[in-house]
Amino acid sequence: MTDVIVFHHAQGLTDGVRQFADELRTAGHRVTVPDLYEGKTFGTLADGVAHAEQIGFGTIMERGKAAAEALPNELVYAGFSLGVLPAQMLAQTRPGAQGALLFHSCLPLAEFGGTWPDDVPVQVHAMDADPLFVGEGDIEAARDLVKAYWDAALFLYPGDKHLFADPSLPDYDAAAAALLTQRSLGLLGRAGRVPTDPRGGERELLGQYLNFQRETMLAKTAGLNQDQMARAHEPSSLTLAGLLLHLALVEENWMEVRFLGLPIREPWADVDFDEDPEWEFRTSAELEPEQLRQRYREACERSRQAAAQADGLDQLSVQPLRDGRRFSLRWVLLHLLEETARHAGHADLLREAIDGTVGE
């Protein structure tokens, strides 16, 4: 779960901006949507821009800054067009930023100090023929940002609409807006991962690094639909759905069944893996994305509980390996870390092939 603040565009805090925020909430994120216009909305972009000019762009940025000050420093800043002013300013200058989502606009880095902060992923979304984005220098600013910072992405959508992501306005483009939301959820999933503690002990760090890779797997599947989750990309037959269900099996089989000696859970108990060794990869396409993600979350949580119950990293498993040796908690946590990280790399490539979303 990630904390997000969303700043509205020049027409005000419309129902469409609220709807976008609700979609992020449905995905599990905490979202704040301040009203920079103090209750006013406008029927046209021109009227909204005139109001912004009347109250002053500096006032708008100060209102955005004040809204953020009431929230934790660890935020993702999102802005629609005019809302990019406070969003980009805060992402560049306020310590603790976790990411930035800049919709329909982008300012030169020099506006807010000249550099983009390290470890703050940023996405810029706009239409490739939007006269405001293309004609007023935003596209050049976005391209400069991508060149200057390794974790910056520019997504251009076919069309000439400006506020295409607001479903309450005439410029709305459903297909482009859905893809924008999907890609944004991917960034939010990454931003919500808990970093490791550089001074942590061995047991703590094994758990933290493993959790980070687990969260990466969930981030790589955030916002995708069932068809996308089940889509393979040649020459590989791997899918994101298959990887999630496989990793749920890996967690439960190693930690609950082998380490603790508990009975195997459904649906695995009724599967003859000798006859159908690819069962979880084959059947995963039948499940909804949230079913897969929830099953994986639950499997990871049960694994964490199993590890927490152990007396120490040297505690041995109930069930042995094939050669008869029992394994330690240390060994199995390293094994899970290795396998999860390997599949997270697969997931990174698959997600890029689906919608162009990249990042660690």
Burial string for 56-95 (b: 16+ CB within 10 Å, else e) reads: eeeebbebbeebbeeeeeebbbbbbbbbbbbbbbbbbeee
Where do runs of H (alpha helix) occur along 110-160?
131-135, 138-148
Domain annotation covers residue 340:
yes
Domain annotation covers residue 238:
yes
pLDDT digits (tens, 9 = 90+) for 284-324: 989 999 999 999 999 999 999 999 999 999 999 999 999 99
Asked whether the beta carbons of 86 and 111 are under 8 A apart, the reply is no
Distance CA 137, CA 204 (A): 48
Please indicate, yes or no, whether residues 81 and 214 belong to a single structural domain of this protein: no
Distance CA 241, CA 247 (A): 10
Cα separation values, 157 from 108, 139, 144, 228, 301, Å: 21, 12, 18, 19, 39
Please indicate, yes or no, whether residues 165 and 127 belong to a single structural domain of this protein: yes
Domain annotation covers residue 28:
yes
Domain annotation covers residue 217:
yes
Domain total for the chain?
2
pTM to 2 decimal places? 0.84
Residue that terminates a domain, selected from 191, 221, 255: 191
Question: What's the pLDDT at 278?
Answer: 84
Q: Tell me if residue 292 falls in helix, strand or coil.
A: helix
Find all residues with CB under 8 Å of 208, minimum gap 6, and list them: 194, 196, 197, 200
Element (H, E) at 77: strand 76-80
Please indicate, yes or no, whether residues 31 and 172 belong to a single structural domain of this protein: yes
Please indicate, yes or no, whether residues 229 and 324 belong to a single structural domain of this protein: yes
Residue that terminates a domain, selected from 132, 161, 191: 191
The strand order across the sheet containing 3-7 reads 30-32, 3-7, 76-80, 99-103, 122-127, 152-157
Strand-pair category, 30-32 with 76-80:
unpaired
CATH number at residue 161: 3.40.50.1820
Please indicate, yes or no, whether residues 225 and 310 belong to a single structural domain of this protein: yes
Quote the tokens at residue 13. 């805090």
Please indicate, yes or no, whether residues 139 and 39 belong to a single structural domain of this protein: yes
Asked whether the beta carbons of 308 and 243 are under 8 A apart, the reply is no
Domain annotation covers residue 242:
yes
Please indicate, yes or no, whether residues 18 and 164 belong to a single structural domain of this protein: yes
Please indicate, yes or no, whether residues 108 and 235 belong to a single structural domain of this protein: no
- For residue 124, the cross-strand partners are 102, 154
Domain annotation covers residue 284:
yes
Please indicate, yes or no, whether residues 81 and 226 belong to a single structural domain of this protein: no
Q: What is the extent of the structural domain holding 109?
A: 3-191
CATH number at residue 209: 1.20.120.450
Per-residue pLDDT tens, the chain, 360 aa: give them. Answer: 899 999 999 999 999 999 999 999 999 999 999 999 999 999 999 999 999 999 999 999 999 999 999 899 999 999 999 999 999 999 999 999 999 999 999 999 999 988 999 889 999 999 999 999 999 999 999 999 999 999 999 999 999 999 999 999 999 999 999 999 999 999 998 888 788 888 999 999 999 999 999 999 999 998 899 999 999 888 888 999 999 999 999 999 999 999 999 998 888 788 887 887 888 888 898 999 999 999 999 999 999 999 999 999 999 999 999 999 999 999 999 999 999 999 999 999 999 999 888 877
Domain annotation covers residue 196:
no
Question: What's the pLDDT at 315?
Answer: 96
Question: What's the pLDDT at 127?
Answer: 97
Please indicate, yes or no, whether residues 187 and 208 belong to a single structural domain of this protein: no
Residue that terminates a domain, selected from 131, 163, 191: 191
Element (H, E) at 191: helix 174-191
